[in-house]
Amino acid sequence: MRIAAGILTITGGFIGGSLLIAILHELHVHVVLASLPLFVAMIGGIMALKRVHYRWALAGAICSILFPFFGIPAVILLVKRKGEFSSHETAMQGKEKYHWEASTANYEPHERDAHNESEPSYSSSYLHRTPYEPQKKRRRAPRMIGITLACIFAIVILIIAIDPFTPSLSANPLDFGFTVVNGLNPPSQTLEIESSRRAITWSAIGDAQWLNLEPADGITDEETPMTLLVDISGMYPGEYSTTITVSAPEARNTPLKVPVSLVITETKETLAIREAVSGNTNNVEIYYNKQPPYSKGLPNTRINLTNSQSAADPTWQQLLQFLLADDTDDQTYIEGVYTCGSFAETLHNNVEQKGIRAAWVGIDFADDSEGHALNAFYTVDWGLVFVDCTGGGLEVVVPSLEENYNSDIDHDKIAYVQLGEEYGLVSLDVAKSAEYTFYDQYKQQRQEYESRLEDYNRRVEEYNQEISGKVYYRGSSEYYRITRIRDELKQEEAELEQLEQELGSNSWKPLGVVSHVEIYW
C-alpha cells in the first residue's frame, strides 16, 4: 500500500500539475510557480517509495490532490501507513546507533576467576549499555485528514473562481494611440482578438465617429484581425479618446474594453492657413472653440463668439451673397466703444447664425502700432479668405484710412494677410482672388492707374490752358494738332474709366506690416 501511495502521488502530481500549468497558460498567467506542486509531488512520491521522510511524502501526496482521483487515495494510504515510515526510520536510527556504540566500546584484558576460570570478564561499559527504546507513536490521522479536506476544498473554490472550462476573451494590443502631425489620416492599426480553449464569435463597437472598425464582428479562430481606421475630416487639433467594446456572449470576461487615443497637432486646415499667410507655429496661433481674450472697448466687456454646430464652410459665391446682404459694415465706428473687434464679432455671430463657419482674427503690426481685428472664412473653392468689414464713423480705427471712410461707400473689403508683408485691402466688388499675389498685382495696377490719372489730369490742364481764348480754323495745322490732342485725351479718359471700374472707385491704404496672427474658430 505504501508503494501504491508513492505511485499514486507521482502520477497524480504529474497529471494535476500539468493541468494546472495548462489552465494558467490559457489564462495568460505566469506558470513558473504553478510547476512547484508538480516537483513537490515528484519528490514526495520518491520519498514514499523509499519509505523515508514521511513529511515530504505526505506533502507530495497533498500536492497530487490537484488530480483528486489519485491524490486523495495517496493521502489516505500514507496516513494509514505512517507506521511503516516510523518503524523503518526507528530501525535505521537504532542500527546506526548500535554500530556507533559498538565501534566506540572499550574491552578489558581477560583474567581468570578463581571460582570459574572459564568465564571471561567484560568491560562494565558494554555490560551496562542502555538499550534503545523507540518513541511512542502519535496518532495524527484526523489532523492530516482535516488538512487534506481543507486543501481539496480550497482547490475546488479556486477552480470555480478561475472557471477554466469557459472560454476567455483577450485582445492584443491592450490599447492604441494615433498621432496626426501632417494633416493626413494616420496609418491604420490592427487588433487581434483571441479566445482560450475554443473559437467563439465576437462583435465590436466604437463610440467615436472618427474611428471605423473593419470588420466589426468575426470568429476568434479566423486569421483576419480587426483593422482600426481613423478619419479626421472636420476635426480640430487636440486630444481625443474613445473605447472599443468587444463582446462575446460565450466568453466569461465579456465585454472587453480597449482604449484608443488620438492626438492631432495639425490638420489640413491649419496647415493651409499657415501656408496661406506664410507663417509657422510661432507667429500664427490657431484656436478652436475658444473665446478671444480681448475687450470690445468698454470696461468689463469681452469679445463673445457664438458658434453654430451646423455651420459649414461655404463657397465663395455663398459668402459673397451674405456679405452683400449683411449690414454690419454700416454700423458706426466709435473709438473705445464699438471698434474693429466689435465689427468682427458682429459679423462672426451673424454669419454663424446663417450656417456659415467663420473665425475671429486678431493681427499685430511690426511697428507696434494698434492691432486690428477682422474675420476669416475657409471656403471650399477659394481657400482661406479674410474679410474686413470695419465701417466708418466719428473716428476711424486707423488714421491712414480716415480719408476713405464715409457713409456713402461699401466698407466690406477682402483683406490680404501675409507675415512680413503689408496688410492690404481690396473692395469686395473688385476682388478676383483671395491670394496675396492678386493683391500684389492689384496694387501695381492701382499705382499705374494713379500715375496715368495724374498724367492725364496734367495734360488736360495743359490742353485747357492752350485753347483758352484762342480760335482755330478748320483745315489749319494748329486745328489738326489740337484736334489730335483732344482725341488722345478722350481715348485716355475712356481707358482710365475702364480701369477704374476694374480697380474700384475706392482705394484702401495699407495699415502696416503684419507680424503676428491669431485665429479663433
Average pLDDT over residues 176-188: 94
> What digits encode the pLDDT tens for the residues 4-30?
666 766 776 667 666 666 665 555 555
Output the DSSP codes for 288-337. SS-----B-SSTT-B------TT-BPPPHHHHHHHHHH--GGGSPBBTTT
Question: Is pLDDT at 481 greater than 50 in this prediction?
Answer: yes
CA angle (14, 20, 21) in 5-degree steps: 90
Q: Which CATH number describes the domain made up of 169-266?
A: 2.60.40.10
Coil, helix or strand for 183?
strand
Mapping DSSP onto H, E and C, the string for 228-276 reads EEECCCCCCCEEEEEEEEEECCCCCCCCEEEEEEEEECCEHHHHHHHHH
- pLDDT (0 to 100) of residue 197: 77
> What digits encode the pLDDT tens for the residues 376-400?
999 999 999 999 999 875 333 334 4
- pLDDT (0 to 100) of residue 410: 78
Distance CA 157, CA 171 (A): 27
- pLDDT (0 to 100) of residue 335: 86
> What digits encode the pLDDT tens for the residues 423-457?
999 999 899 999 999 999 999 999 999 999 999 99
Give domain limits for the chain.
Answer: 2-97+141-162, 169-266, 269-430+505-520, 445-503
> What digits encode the pLDDT tens for the residues 195-236?
887 889 999 999 899 999 999 999 988 777 899 999 998 899
Output phi, psi for 183, to 5 deg.
80, 0
DSSP 356: B
